[in-house]
Structure 1
């Protein structure tokens, strides 16, 4: 790969110019985070009951005694044999933070439509510590716009990432994340959701690659994350 070669002084000048933009980005991120916290909350009126390894649990039960809940909308359809590679990539990062989250009043759980037996087997295979819950028997995924009926995909529009898109441009399962708060009286509120590339900042592997000389270096035509595999599927020699 050809790249411009500069003197140390030229590099320093270019780096300081970029630093000013990085500072702008940091300040903008702080502003957006403050606006995210200021969003209004919506009371969750419907009672969702999920299948878990500990038996049926409501959305309120998934908080596990904490006041905050982060949900990964994990792509794992009822007929799939394994979870989505990209969602698994994200789950690896969440699992790395899991110990810190649960000691800061935040529970993290992945919710998917596959039966709980499949989800638990996959969780054990991946070695993740957070829990899965199955929404196979309720409308949670549909209500939060991450699963779509086949007829809508084939003949109509679906609502994803806060806008209508052509069903033929979507899939039956799509990724996202949602946040919830539970009051002392047990009332649950939906506070935030993000979809598509909205969760990219939590992918620390990407943030590290952004600092590497070749960046993300995603060469698969038209496909982000084409290089990513489940962490137990990489060739052994690459990790030596």
Structure 2
């Protein structure tokens, strides 16, 4: 944090009023981009996908429930892994509050991972999450959404993420995929967001960005990995016995 400039009230007022112009520019630009996003072309989903859920096997269309819109968050967790992504978990900590309103506004939201459901549910319980968490273990869903990759793809460098072919050395990456279901039951992929595109869903960052120290991500990695932990693993949280550790 740079050394603060302490000024009289009238100078403070002028500086903050001037900065407000930039804040309003950002708000208007965000609204413009959101409108442009809604005009993007759609891709019809022509493949059947089956997910393992707490209510038994479900098709993609079933994940919509009674709503016509579906948001999927792709959680970085493959089969037989006990390495729970702090970044994905950080984002997921923000879902349940929003979901109280989304489900009443024609939007369903689910979190999908490749790990089998039996490996997902204990972690969900540990984190205290209420949203639906399902497994795509038995389908190509994550691979088709270009957030998971086969060993062959990784070895050949044929890995596409965030609309770019790039070398990737891990099997699973995070992302958001948005779908629409019409009255005939047809499903369309309307938007995807990858990499830092998920940050708008992490409202903790909005709070931090208003503070003098900001995100305070000053190394060694200069990102959330510098400080974010699973919410029950911060140093000041009492440790309790848990089978999922």
TM-score, normalization by structure 1: 0.93
Aligned to 1:140: 141
Query: Contact (CA 8 Å) 1:74, 1:87: kept in 2 or not?
Result: yes
Equivalence for 1:119: 120
1:82 touches 1:122 (CA, 8 Å); kept in 2?
no
Unaligned runs of 5+ in 2: 239-245
Residue aligning to 1:202: 201
Structure 1 residues 223 and 204: CA distance shift in structure 2, 3 A: same
Query: How big is the alpha-carbon RMSD for the aligned residues of Structure 1 and Structure 2?
Result: 1.6
Q: 2:108 aligned with 1:107, yes or no?
A: yes
Distance 1:99 1:24 in 2: 30
- Give 3-state SS (helix, strand or coil) of 2:77's partner: coil
Distance 1:48 1:209 in 2: 39
2:213 aligned partner: 214
Paired residues of 1:49 and 1:59 also in contact (CA < 8 A): yes
| Residue 98 of structure 1, CA deviation | 1.2
TM-fit CA distance, 1:237: 6.0
Residue matched to 1:234? 234
Offset, 1:82: 4.6
Query: Which residue matches 1:180?
Result: 179
218-227 vs 84-93, which deviates more?
A: 218-227
Q: CA deviation at 1:9?
A: 2.1
Q: Which residue pairs with 1:36 in the alignment?
A: 37
Aligned 8 A contact 1:101 1:107 in 2: yes
**CA contact under 8 A between 1:176 and 1:193: conserved in structure 2?**
yes
Moved more, 9-18 or 29-38: 9-18
- TM-score for both structures, normalised by structure 2: 0.91
Deviations 1:181-210 (CA, angstroms, capped at 9, x unpaired): 111221111111000011211211000000
Give the total of aligned pairs: 236
Q: 1:96 matched to which residue of 2?
A: 97
1:56 Cα deviation (Å)? 0.8
**C-alpha distance in structure 1 between counterparts of 2:23 and 2:43, whole Å:** 34
In structure 1, the residue matched to 2:9 is 8
Shift of 1:83: 2.8
- 2:72 maps to 71
Structure 1 counterpart of 2:223: 224
Answer yes or no: is the 8 Å Cα contact 1:119–1:132 preserved in 2.
yes
By how many angstroms is 1:126 displaced? Answer: 1.0
Gaps of at least 5 residues in structure 1 are none
Cα distance in 1 for partners of 2:8, 2:179 equals: 52
For residues 199 and 8 of structure 1, the distance between their equivalents in structure 2, rounded to whole angstroms, comes to 38
